[in-house]
Amino acid sequence: MLKLKKVISMFLAMAMCLGMAACSTPGQKQEPVKPADAAAETPAETAPDKKVLRYSLLADAPTLDPQLMNSIPSSTVGFHIYEGLMRNHIGEIQPGMAESYEISEDGKTYTFHLRDAKWSDGVEIKAADYEYAMRRLVDPATASDYSFLVTSLIKNAGDINAGKMAVEELGVKAVDDKTLTIELNNPTGYFLSMLSMSQLCPVRQDLVEKYGKDFSADADKNVYSGPFIVKEWKHEDRIILEKNPNYWNAGEIKLDEVHILTVADPMTAVAMFEQGELDQVNVPAEVLENYKDKVIYYNDGANDFMKLNMDGSCELSNKDLRLAINYALNREDYILLSSQNLYQPNTRYVLPQVKGVNGDYGDEYPYEAFPLKGDAAKAKEHLAKAMEELGVTDPAAIDVELLTTDAERTRIEAEVLQNQIQTALGITVTIRQVPYKQRLQMESDHEFEMVVTGWVPDYPDPMSYLELWPTGSPYNHGSYSSEVYDGYIKDALTNTDPVKRMEALFNAEKTLLEDGGIVPLQLRRNAMLINPKVEGFETYFVGINYDYLYADIAE
Amino acid sequence: MRKYIFKRVIISFVTIWVLATIVFILVRLMPGDPFSSDKMTPEIKANIESYYGFDKPLIEQYFTYMKNIVKGDFGYSMKYVNQSVNKIIADSFPYSFDLGMRALSLSISLGLVFGIIAALYRGKQLDYVCVIIAIIGTSVPDFIIGAMLQYFFGIKWGLFPVAQYQGIKHTILPSIALGFYTMAMVSRLMRASMLEVVQQDYIKTAKSKGISKFRITYKHQIRNAIMPVVTVLGPTVASVLTGTFVIESIYAIPGMGKYYVQSVQNLDYSLILGMTIFYGAFLVLANMIVDILYGVIDPRIRVSGR
């Protein structure tokens, strides 16, 4: 017995040695656990005089190369490290690198006068840096997927992007070191609001050429023109921004540092917020109930709807059937069942928060295309007409496939939709779930009947949504085609009178919905918790989701 | 022995080449493509495809890729556009390796101890305790163990940091969560194997020779019983060291596991390929080491004798 105890204690001792050895050897030799990080271990105690804002992302920013950015997390960081000609601060257009600007009488030529300012490495910022950046964006060799922002906007951008014209032909010219002109295809009122998008922000030709593909791959492989610089970027772990002393408006910037941590699990992020390790966090729908009184809701611009295929390959080419589906849905129930009321039911197409003539579009043009709770009588009426036109007697003979992605949330959404449509109309709805990337491809290949999809705006104007549906538009995956609609869009593109233009856009929206061109579903909302000490942390719904430009931490 | 190792190395390279080829074909067969997005237009897609050389015939792409692999160049990620796959692996693998080493040393040592105790005290209370721990470890999935450890030790009692990988303190919870399953598996295997060995004739012989119980246990029983454990360690070590998606997500650790899963979701061809080849090479290496270890532990299969 005694010997046995010896054996056991020997093994235990061995185990402990092994365990301890493991704790000391790799840990101290490996990079991840550097003593330099010890300060970050207790974030609450990091130099009390420093003002630090900490928030998290579900996945690391895929890139910080301004022209290659194609995701909201990336461009949110980009917004704070690069300086556009103008600044769009939650919808308010403020001067950026341009001190002043003039617009030609036809509204197509913009002349910007740049202020004296320096890159974070002390080199002067020149108009040529903007010219180079915008050429780089549309150059097919750059292969930027966000070149679509300007391909129909800036003169010759489309042809250059399609490889039909030299990049020097772009309608962007550095007249001298401090003057830049930009020529547009059409007078475009919202153009100024787009200029703070990272994709249109300057880069330095010498550095792009020096680093090649690795440009901006790490904190030290780029220089910065905006209010913050990237001090450290540990991929999939943290991005640390530091106030840029060279920034032209540095006096207005109050934060010393911004820590952007990658936390893949939203529940972990909530836990870190609870422990005081984060200042802001988005609460997932599953636990929203626990935080109901503390959260602040904000729209991130995402608008979910169903695209319907109208190219003649299925019954949905029938307008009455499309309208029947639209009237059949009880969108309030749908929201309750699919997102526990985190999202908002929606029966129109354009995000109400985008800019109208003076105020918000939704306030200026209120509209409810279909009742939120649905209208069973109208649904039946349209169904009867549709059946007659389609020549069927049994509604169950109408069989449509509902395509969606294979995520848990989208499965629940699809099941609620399937149930509501089948119950109200008696038609057959089959759900098909595929991986996200496959859904996107099937959409653009027009290989679907009904698909749950969405859109986020690229500029705060109804056109950002409505440009999808003109006949022949590359995003018109449903093959919607209406001369009336096309007419309104054409009018809006060329009309210089802001009121008439907005009316044309509203009429286009109405036409699309009255034709049952889409099935509007929901506006996505986020519920965030924020440290009460943080002031001026704003959310926005175009291009970026957070704006902490002028944020401050109260003492 | 040297000849054997040489042969194994050759076979390993062939294995990895076959793996690379199969995965190269399989990723292309997956529906969808890496560049699909809500806002993609045909012109822009064409630009991106020609940028990555996708406009060339597949066979040409294959040879280009293989040539680059031989040079040790896995290309650039298609999602993290400025990051080379080599860099991503070099950045993320140390985290997974560090965490994996901690988890393994903890789980293997404790697993062996529990297994041996359980076997020696078979049918007694200590045995039941060990068996219960092992059952919990094998049947409760890691995301539950991970989340529970995080909740109790991190949030409720505040003993350890909730997440991130910053210092020794941060490594404890994820190491336990990651190692729990391996520990349970090792202890179950060890217990079963110990009980089997104790029936063997050589143990009876040793007993009849009057050798002390300690010596029998230590020299004969454990040494022989450990073989099956060593067998499973090869693949286990490889998979634990190259990272796990769940634990890395829960504890916000920038390891390889997360990249691996996300690369498949994103259809990031070059990253999927690079990670698979790296993981495959690691697995092959671990198995080779295990095979060589057999010879060291068990003289009967000392390979040099062949």
Q: pLDDT digits over A168-226, tens only? A: 999 999 999 999 999 999 988 899 999 999 999 999 999 999 999 999 999 999 999 99
Is it the case that residue A279 has pLDDT exceeding 50?
A: yes
Closest alpha carbon to A84 in A270, A226, A275: A226
Its pTM stands at: 0.88
pLDDT attached to residue A34: 40
Query: Taking CB atoms and an 8 Å cutoff, what residues of chain B touch A146?
Result: 39
Which H or E run includes A203?
Answer: none
Is it the case that residue A404 has pLDDT exceeding 90?
A: yes
Q: What is the mean pLDDT of residues B237-253?
A: 89
Query: Taking CB atoms and an 8 Å cutoff, what residues of chain A touch B40?
Result: 145, 148, 440, 444
- Residue in B with minimal Cα distance to A266: B250
Residue B232's pLDDT band, with cuts at 50, 70 and 90, is: confident
Pairing outcome for strands A450-455 and A399-405: parallel
Q: Do A32 and B162 touch (CB under 8 A)?
A: no
Q: How far is A239 from chain B (nearest CA, A)?
A: 12
pLDDT attached to residue B296: 75
Query: Taking CB atoms and an 8 Å cutoff, what residues of chain B touch A148?
Result: 39-41, 44
Q: Mind listing the pLDDT tens digit for each residue in B263-285?
A: 998 999 999 999 999 999 988 98
Q: Do A63 and B259 touch (CB under 8 A)?
A: no
Query: Taking CB atoms and an 8 Å cutoff, what residues of chain A touch B272?
Result: none
Q: CB–CB of B226/B111 below 8 Å?
A: no
Q: Do B79 and A62 touch (CB under 8 A)?
A: yes
CA atoms within 13 A on the CB side of A160: 27
φ, ψ of residue A56 to 5 degrees: the values are -130, 160
Q: How far is A281 from chain B (nearest CA, A)?
A: 14
- Residue in B with minimal Cα distance to A57: B252
Q: How far is A192 from chain B (nearest CA, A)?
A: 21
Q: Do A33 and B167 touch (CB under 8 A)?
A: yes
Chain B contact for A41 (CB, 8 A cutoff): yes
pLDDT attached to residue B224: 86
Which H or E run includes A278?
Answer: none
Q: Do A237 and B31 touch (CB under 8 A)?
A: no
Strands (E) in A364-441, as ranges, are 399-405, 428-434
For chain A, give the mean pLDDT.
Answer: 90
Chain B contact for A455 (CB, 8 A cutoff): yes
Q: Mind listing the pLDDT tens digit for each residue in B25-79?
A: 999 998 888 988 888 888 899 999 999 999 999 999 999 999 999 999 999 999 9
- Residue in B with minimal Cα distance to A40: B166
Chain B contact for A267 (CB, 8 A cutoff): yes
* Best residue of A437, A439, A452, A453 to probe chain B, by most B CBs closer than 10 Å: A437
Pairing outcome for strands A92-95 and A552-553: unpaired
Q: What is the mean pLDDT of residues A471-477?
A: 92
φ, ψ of residue A293 to 5 degrees: the values are -85, -15
Q: Which of B213, B218, B254 is closest, CB to CB, to A234? A: B254
Chain A contact for B188 (CB, 8 A cutoff): no
Is it the case that residue A14 has pLDDT exceeding 50?
A: no
Q: What is the mean pLDDT of residues B219-228?
A: 86
Reported ipTM = 0.88
Q: Which of A32, A40, A145 is closest, CB to CB, to B35? A: A145
Closest alpha carbon to A262 in A248, A278, A286, A244: A278
Between the CA atoms of B103, B104, B106 and B109, what dihedral angle is there, to the nearest 10 degrees? 170
Closest alpha carbon to B239 in B283, B300, B269: B283
φ, ψ of residue A312 to 5 degrees: the values are 100, -5
Chain B contact for A2 (CB, 8 A cutoff): no
Q: Mind listing the pLDDT tens digit for each residue in A491-504?
A: 998 888 999 999 99
Identity of the residue numbered A1? M
CA angle (A325, A327, A330) in 5-degree steps: 100
Chain B contact for A441 (CB, 8 A cutoff): yes
- As a whole number of angstroms, the distance between CA A73 and CA A63 comes to 9
Between the CA atoms of A155, A159, A164 and A170, what dihedral angle is there, to the nearest 10 degrees? 30
Q: How far is B17 from chain A (nearest CA, A)?
A: 27
Token pair 């079963």: residue: B192
- As a whole number of angstroms, the distance between CA A546 and CA A302 comes to 14
Query: Taking CB atoms and an 8 Å cutoff, what residues of chain B touch A301?
Result: none
Chain A contact for B205 (CB, 8 A cutoff): no
Identity of the residue numbered B155? I
Size of interface A-B (CB pairs under 8 A): 237
pLDDT attached to residue B83: 94
Q: Do A63 and B41 touch (CB under 8 A)?
A: no
- Give me the residues of A, 456-515, that contact B with CB < 8 A: 456, 458, 474-475
B97-264 is classed in which CATH architecture? Orthogonal Bundle (1.10)
Q: Do A217 and B83 touch (CB under 8 A)?
A: yes
Chain B contact for A14 (CB, 8 A cutoff): yes
Q: What is the mean pLDDT of residues B170-193?
A: 93
- As a whole number of angstroms, the distance between CA B203 and CA A68 comes to 69
Q: Which of A8, A214, A274 is closest, CB to CB, to B82? A: A214
Distances (CA, A) of A494 to A463, A471, B219: 12, 17, 91
Please enumerate in sequence order all residues whose Cβ is within 8 A of that of B270, keeping only pairs 6 or more positions apart, or say none.
B74, B75, B76, B77, B78, B85
Distances (CA, A) of A121 to A124, A225, A228, A240: 9, 9, 13, 18
Q: Mind listing the pLDDT tens digit for each residue in B117-166?
A: 999 999 999 999 999 999 999 999 989 999 999 999 988 888 999 888 88
N-term to C-term CA, chain A? 65
A365 three-class SS: coil
Chain A contact for B249 (CB, 8 A cutoff): yes
Q: CB–CB of B190/A11 below 8 Å?
A: no
Q: What is the mean pLDDT of residues A68-75?
A: 92
pLDDT attached to residue A45: 47
- Residue in A with minimal Cα distance to B169: A41
